[in-house]
Amino acid sequence: MGIDRGFFITFEGIEGSGKSTQIALLSSFLKKKITKKVFLTREPGGTKISEKIRKLVINDLDEKSNSLTELLLLFAARAEHYDLIREKLNKNYIVLCDRYIDSTVAYQHYNGNIKLDVINYMQKLIDPKNKPDLTILLDIDPVVSKSRILKRNKKLDRFDKESVGKMNKIRKAFLKIAKLNKKRVIVISNNLSKKDVQTNVQNQVLKFINR
């Protein structure tokens, strides 16, 4: 089986929601069953320059940094990255992206002080279509995700160190975004086993691609 057009699918959720695991599993599944043309990427990041910006945003900025500096860096990374995404979509790839515009709305607007109008304006400069084709929101209780993060053998970054209270605020923001974008955003609970969550993810994506 193949596909004759590109699809832009994003994964969203709070830290420790299992995005990276599930997106990698989906990528292998699609490559095996649907098409070899799958492009797995992430934000902030995805290109040489955008990965450099990612390091600045995650490692060098802190909660005292100017929120506009953070926003402009995130959009600078996205402008570079979206050129590559567009190129892949034009070549009929399925693009799977770990975080995208909904993260900006959840973190910089709902959990930050940036107006939605500003985010939407900048987003449209980069991507006139503005939104991905499909978004999978992996929903999880922050208490569970926090314990997962602490079990990882990885140095914690400033986002991983967020309190459960703040993570709850971001979770609610994502759920609100899902409610406002019912056609595009599918909420999948990550309280099940890794395998069951993957089955749910695969079913939703196949349903969308075969529509």
Please give the residue ranges that form the binding site for ligand TYD (CB under 6 A).
15, 19-20, 43-44, 58, 74, 98-99, 103-104, 107-108, 159-160
Provide the minimum distance between the beta carbon of 100 and ligand TYD in the complex, in angstroms, as a whole number.
Answer: 6
Closer Cβ to ligand TYD, 89 or 146, answer by number: 146
Provide the minimum distance between the beta carbon of 43 and ligand TYD in the complex, in angstroms, as a whole number.
Answer: 4
Closer Cβ to ligand TYD, 103 or 200, answer by number: 103
**Among 129, 128, 61, 70, which Cα is nearest to 103's?**
70
Closer Cβ to ligand TYD, 103 or 198, answer by number: 103
Residues 3-19 as b/e (b if ≥16 CB within 10 A, e otherwise) read eeebbbbbbbbbbbbbb
**Among 37, 34, 11, which Cα is nearest to 22's?**
11
Closer Cβ to ligand TYD, 81 or 93, answer by number: 81
Phi, psi of 185 (to 5 degrees): -100, 125
Using CB positions, name the residue nearest to ligand TYD: 159
